[in-house]
Structure 1
Amino acid sequence: MVYTIDTPWKVTFEVGKRGMETPVVWSHLKDWINSDDDKIKYFSGQAVYETEFVLEELPQKNLYLDLGSVMVMAKVTLNGHYVGGVWTYPYRMNVTDYLKKGENKLEITVVNNWQNRLIGDQSLPEEQRPTWTTINPWKADSPLQSSGLLGPVEIQAFDYEITK
């Protein structure tokens, strides 16, 4: 490992999906289902995580961004360049061509599924439920599915190129 990205994250939830209306700033990554705010706990859609970090040295190796754990999928932009997307473990991609010595800007767009929204809606009056499906196997007390960028997010260096 070269660097753990533990800088604050600005998280912007998709507008119109009953999420937070303004971005939130978290000092560390967290599972949405552990939020005290129901707008985050039961959110379904996409959220954009943004942070900046500084690399003092840039090893002459193959460099990878490892997102740790993501629920459910993510796409990554680094220093204004689209790097790629991930939807299965390992949530890792080659960023050798995009990292730079000094300040780097990272943007990760995470999308979850609608399970938590359907569970959250079960505690609302029927006329206030924003989602609808012909079959909903979940109840208000069903366990929530982890969601969001869970991390840890790390830059890793290898002497060889990793293939999936």
Structure 2
Amino acid sequence: FAALMGLARQGMAVVVHRELPEDVPGWGNLDNRRNEYQQLVSSLRFEEGGDLGGRVAHVGAGMVLMGDDVRAMLGSTKAVREPMADAGLRFVRRRDGDNKTYWILNSADRSLNGWVSLASRPLSAVCFDPQFGGSGLAALRVSGTSGTEVYLQLAAGQSCLVRACSAEVRGPAWEYFEAHGDPVEVEGTWRVSFVQGGPELPEAVEIARLGSWTEYGGEAVKRFSGTALYAIDLARPAGDADAWLLDLGRVCESAKVMLNGEDLGTLISPPFRIVIPGGRMREQNRLEVRVSNLMANRIADLDRRGVSWKRFYNVNFSARLGANRGPDGLFNASRWQPKDSGLIGPTTLAPVVRLRPQ
């Protein structure tokens, strides 16, 4: 709170929803921090703010606004509202000199493929892929009604970084793609081998349909936590395409993708998709996907066998859920059912072509 008051004295507007905190957090140096907090609070002289949307206390060159209507209070400050919020996008915006950097998340349950309005008016915008490290100049246009717009393609749950630059930036363009045909399921015989983990490595299997490895049969796959290698031979799909969109479908929990021995990237969260450049797709190909699951199944097995594995401090407390408590009242996972693990699918390939946003 002292830091916030310091910012207010320098000219910032601090917006408080409804009321100030009753007390300070934590126990360290509690008495001194409480006294400091109470002195700062008692120094605030609130008065009716009129059009400011709440009560106001002037602090140095800035002020503290307190009230019920956060939107009205923010509207009375110099804070600039981002119109992308109306499209269901979540974001974090940071200023770096004359530039602004956005982290943008598509939190909707549908894909975004279109123009997104920015409150800033950059001359250039650079898009960054935080998962694979790619970057390029994003398509930008000026709209008479909504200011500057940047073209984004984000699947549900996907995010990117956009740097809005106040000066012209030169460099390679960001690659946009659009569908050029229907997705086709990757079919054939998947060879599944367990390569790392425990308590022991289950036997390798061959499967025609993807699904949780806990359903392969036997107890070893139900208690295994680690990594399995899925391999399949596939022919280049028919038709012309600039690239191919590989969609792994459901993955529990992360996947490393390799094509013909070349590492295409590691996927750690949905959407489990990766673009395969057309030049890397041969007439005959070998696709390998290394999938790692969580530790839940192995932990449950350890607790069922009474193995002492909790050799650290903060696990020896009563579990929040009664179903996760053992006879001693402490955390125990012995009643957990096996969690889905591995490449669940369906895994598909779809032809895509480059898109030039208009």
The TM-score normalised by the length of structure 1 is: 0.83
Whether the 8 Å contact between 2:257 and 2:263 is mirrored in structure 1 is yes
Whether the 8 Å contact between 2:259 and 2:287 is mirrored in structure 1 is yes
Q: Displacement, 1:108? A: 0.4
What secondary structure does 1:121 align onto? helix
In the alignment, which residue of structure 2 is the partner of 1:90? 271
In the alignment, which residue of structure 1 is the partner of 2:284? 103
In the alignment, which residue of structure 1 is the partner of 2:348? 154
Q: Displacement, 1:116? A: 0.9
What secondary structure does 1:116 align onto? helix
In the alignment, which residue of structure 1 is the partner of 2:231? 50
Pairs within 5 Å for 1:6-155: 6-15=187-196, 17-96=198-277, 97-100=279-282, 102-126=283-307, 132-134=310-312, 135=315, 137-155=331-349
Deviations 1:34-83 (A, max 9, x none): 33322111211111111101235252233111100111100110011111
Whether the 8 Å contact between 1:13 and 1:19 is mirrored in structure 2 is no
Distance 2:239 2:310 in 1: 49
Whether the 8 Å contact between 1:5 and 1:153 is mirrored in structure 2 is yes
The TM-score normalised by the length of structure 2 is: 0.40
Amino acid at match of 2:334: A
Distance 1:60 1:32 in 2: 33
Unpaired stretches in structure 2, ≥5 consecutive residues: 1-181, 317-330
Amino acid at match of 1:98: R
Distance 2:225 2:297 in 1: 7
Q: Displacement, 1:21? A: 4.8
What secondary structure does 1:36 align onto? coil
What secondary structure does 2:192 align onto? strand
What secondary structure does 1:95 align onto? strand
- May I ask how many residue pairs the two structures share in their alignment? 157
Distance 1:69 1:16 in 2: 21
Whether the 8 Å contact between 2:255 and 2:292 is mirrored in structure 1 is yes
Across the aligned residues of Structure 1 and Structure 2, the Cα RMSD in angstroms comes to 2.2
Amino acid at match of 2:255: A
Whether the 8 Å contact between 1:15 and 1:21 is mirrored in structure 2 is no
Check 1:37–1:2 CA distance in 2 against 1; reply closer, same or farther (3 A cut): same
Q: Displacement, 1:122? A: 2.2
- Structure with larger RCO (C-alpha < 8 A, sep 6+): 1
Q: Please identify which structure carries the higher helix content.
A: 2
Check 1:45–1:16 CA distance in 2 against 1; reply closer, same or farther (3 A cut): closer
Distance 1:15 1:147 in 2: 14
Whether the 8 Å contact between 2:196 and 2:227 is mirrored in structure 1 is no
Check 1:81–1:87 CA distance in 2 against 1; reply closer, same or farther (3 A cut): same
Unpaired stretches in structure 1, ≥5 consecutive residues: none
Q: Displacement, 1:147? A: 0.9
Distance 2:190 2:306 in 1: 34
Whether the 8 Å contact between 1:65 and 1:154 is mirrored in structure 2 is yes
Distance 2:238 2:252 in 1: 31
Structure with the greater alpha carbon radius of gyration = 2
Distance 1:55 1:106 in 2: 11
Which portions of structure 1, spanning 4 or more consecutive aligned residues, are displaced by more than 6 angstroms? none
Q: Displacement, 1:16? A: 5.7
Check 1:3–1:55 CA distance in 2 against 1; reply closer, same or farther (3 A cut): farther
